[in-house]
A and B are shown apart, each in its own frame.
Chain A
Amino acid sequence: MASLKDLRNRIASVKATQKITKAMQMVAAAKLRRAQEAAEAARPYSERMGAVLANITQAIGGGGDAPALMTGTGRDDVHLLIVCTAERGLCGGFNSQIARLARDHIRRLLADGKQVKVICVGKKGFDILRRDYASLILERVDLREVKTLGFVNADAIARKVIHLFNEGGFDICTLFYSQFKSVISQIPTAQQIIPAAQASATAGAGNGGGAVYEYEPEPGEILSDLIPRNIAVQIFRALLENAAGEMGAKMSAMDNATRNAGDMINRLSITYNRQRQAQITKELIEIISGAEAL
C-alpha cells in the first residue's frame, strides 16, 4: 500500500500532466482554426485549376500531343509513393493510419513484383516506414522548420517528383495523405497524381465547357505548363488537409488525455482521503486506549 506521501506526489504529477495536455489541446484548437482557414482559402485555386484542365483536355481531345505526365509512360512497373504525415506525434492514430495505408499498398505492390520508391514528407511517416522499408525510401522532406505552409513548399516537392519522372525514375505516382473530414474524423487517402488522366476526367463538365476557346500559345504548350502546376496544387492541397487533420486529431487526443487525467486524479484523491481518514482513526484509537490504560 502506497503511503500518504506517495499518493500526494502521484496526484501532483498527474495534475501537472493534465495541465500540459490541456494546454496542448487549446494550442491545437487555435492552430486547427488557422489550418482550416488556409485549406478553405486554397480551395478556389484548385477548383478553377480543375475546370481549366478539363477545358483544355477537351480541346485536345486526348490527342497524341498530350504530355507524358498526363498519359503516363504506358507501364506500371515502378511506383513512387509520396507519403505525407505530420512532423510531430501526440495526435492519436493520425500518423500510423496514413503509414498503415501506405504500408499495405507497398506490400501489395511488392507482392505483384513491382518496384517501389518512397518519398516521405514529415518525420513521423518516415520513422514508421523506415522500420520495414528503409531501402525503398528515396528521400525525406523535412517541413519542421516551416511555420506557415506555403505553396513554395509544395512546389519544391512537385519539382523533385517531376524531375524524377522526366528521368524515367517511375511510372505511377501515388500521394498518401489524410483527408480532413471533420475534427474527429480524418480519412487516410491514396490519390494517384501521375498519370493525371483520371483526375481530370472526374473534374470534367466544368463551367463554360461549351465555349470555344482561343489558346495562346497552343493548347499543348499550355497543357505542358499546366500539368506540373496541377501536381504542385494537388500536393499543396494534401499538405493543407494534413495540417488541418493533424491538429484535429491532436485536439481530440489531448482532450481524451485531459479527461483521463481528471478521472485518475479523482480516483487517487478518493484513495488518499480514505487512507488519511484511516490513519486519523488509528491515531485516535491509540490515544483513547492509551488514556484508558492509565
Chain B
Amino acid sequence: MAEAFKFELVSPERLLVSEQVESVVIPGAEGEMTVMAQHAPVMTTIKPGVVTVKAAGGKEDRYVVFGGFADILPSGCTLLAESAVHVNDIDRADLARRIQDAKEDAADAKDDVARSRAEQFLSQLTTLEGALLPA
C-alpha cells in the first residue's frame, strides 16, 4: 500500500475535505497530475475539472472544481478551489449557467488576450460538461 499524506480541499465557503489520502489527481493548468506522498513542492493553478481523491482506505471520491490553486508539499497537498462540489451533487443548471456566462465573456472580450483566455475557459467548461453528463 502506498504511503498516505494529508490532503485538504478548501472552498471559500468551507473546508470540504481534510483527510489522509493515497493519491489525488488534479486538473492542473498545464495538464493533469497525480499527486502522491513525497511529491516535490509545486504550486499550480488548476482549470475546471474533476479532482479524484483516493483515500487511505482505498475509497475513491470525485469532486468537481471550477478553477483555483494547488499548493503541493512533500508532507501534504492543499487545494484552494474557487468553488467545489461533490460529483454527485453537481447541478446541471448551474453548469449550464456557468457555460452561458463564459460564452458571454468570450463575446464581450475587448482584446485578443482576454478573448483567447475566455474561450479557453469556455472550452474547459464544455469538456467538463461532456465528461460529467453523458448526454
Contacts and interface: CB of A to CB of B under 8 A. Distances in A.
A154 B74 CA distance: 33
A222 B12 contact: no
A232 B67 CA distance: 14
B80 A55 contact: no
B83 A45 contact: no
A60 to B, nearest CB: 12
A217 interface: yes
A219 B71 CA distance: 13
A291 interface: no
Contact of A225 (B14, B45, B71): B45
Interface string A123-151: 00000000000000000000000000011
Interface stretch (B36-44, B53-61, B124-132): B36-44
A213 B42 contact: yes
Nearest to A210: B41
A236 B43 CA distance: 24
Nearest to B44: A216
Interface stretch (A36-44, A172-180, A252-260, A271-279): A36-44
B89 interface: no
A113 B90 CA distance: 52
B12 A56 contact: no
B45 A44 contact: no
Contacts of A211: 41, 73-74
A212 B83 contact: no
A216 B40 contact: no
B30 A41 contact: no
Interface in B9-36: 10-15, 28-30
A216 B83 contact: no
B41 A48 contact: no
Interface residues of B, number: 24
Contacts of B80: 45, 48-49, 52
Interface string B61-84: 000000001010110001010110
A222 to B, nearest CB: 6
A214 B71 contact: no
A56 B43 contact: yes
Contacts of A49: 80
Contacts, number: 80
Contact of A217 (B8, B14, B30): B30
B43 A212 contact: no
Contacts of A217: 29-30, 44-45
Nearest to B18: A44
A236 B73 contact: no
B42 to A, nearest CB: 5
Given A216-B29, A222-B43, A44 B10 contact: yes
B69 A226 contact: yes
Given A48-B80, A213-B43, A216-B30, A233 B12 contact: yes
A41 B45 contact: no
Given A213-B41, A222-B45, A42 B12 contact: yes
Contact of B13 (A51, A150, A232): A150
A52 B43 contact: yes
B124 to A, nearest CB: 14
Contacts of A38: 13
Interface string B87-126: 0000000000000000000000000000000000000000
Interface of B: 8, 10-15, 28-30, 40-45, 69, 71, 73-74, 78, 80, 82-83
Interface of A: 38, 41-42, 44-46, 48-49, 51-52, 55-56, 150-152, 154-155, 208, 211-217, 219, 221-222, 225-226, 229, 232-233, 236
The 10 A-B pairs of least Cβ separation, nearest first, read A41-B14, A151-B12, A216-B44, A211-B41, A213-B41, A214-B42, A45-B10, A44-B15, A45-B12, A213-B43
Given A151-B12, A217-B29, 5 more contacts: A154-B12, A216-B45, A217-B30, A229-B82, A232-B12
